[in-house]
Amino acid sequence: MAATGHTVAGDDILKNSFANFAFENFEIAAYNSLLVIADLAGETRAEGPLRQNLSEEEGMARWLQSNLAEVTRQFAELKSVGEEAKV
């Protein structure tokens, strides 16, 4: 849904990257909350899968963050020569 609204401005690659990074951090917050809820409820079986999912989301957030500078550079280079980055 967010990607659809970003296509008009021409910088959809960057905005989609921002949205993806934001969503990964939203998921990280959600898994952290779920871990607290599971702990409060005494649901010890949930901890392993929740921690696994949390770890995966943290890894993706790190990857997105570490690649954002390069995505931005490539976008700027294409824009400077009149080309457009495509999704």
DSSP 51-78: HHHHHHHHHHHHHHHHHHHHHHHHHHHH
Specify the number of domains making up the chain: 1
- Give me the pLDDT at residue 86, please: 72
For residue 14, being part of any structural domain is answered with yes
Answer yes or no: pTM beyond 0.85. no
State how far the Cα of 38 lies from the Cα of 48, in Å rounded to an integer.
Answer: 11
In a domain, 48, yes or no: yes
Q: What is the pLDDT of residue 85?
A: 74
In a domain, 39, yes or no: yes
Output the CA–CA distances (angstroms, integers) from residue 18 to 15, 32, 46, in the order listed: 5, 21, 30
Render pLDDT for 2-60 as a digit per residue (tens, 0 to 9): 555 545 568 999 999 999 999 999 999 999 999 999 999 999 999 999 999 999 999 99
Contact indicator for 85, 56 with CB cutoff of 8 Å: no
In a domain, 40, yes or no: yes
* Residue 52 placed within a domain: yes
User: Does some domain include residue 1?
Assistant: no
Domain that holds residue 73: 10-80
Residue 2 has what pLDDT?
54
86 occurs within a structural domain: no
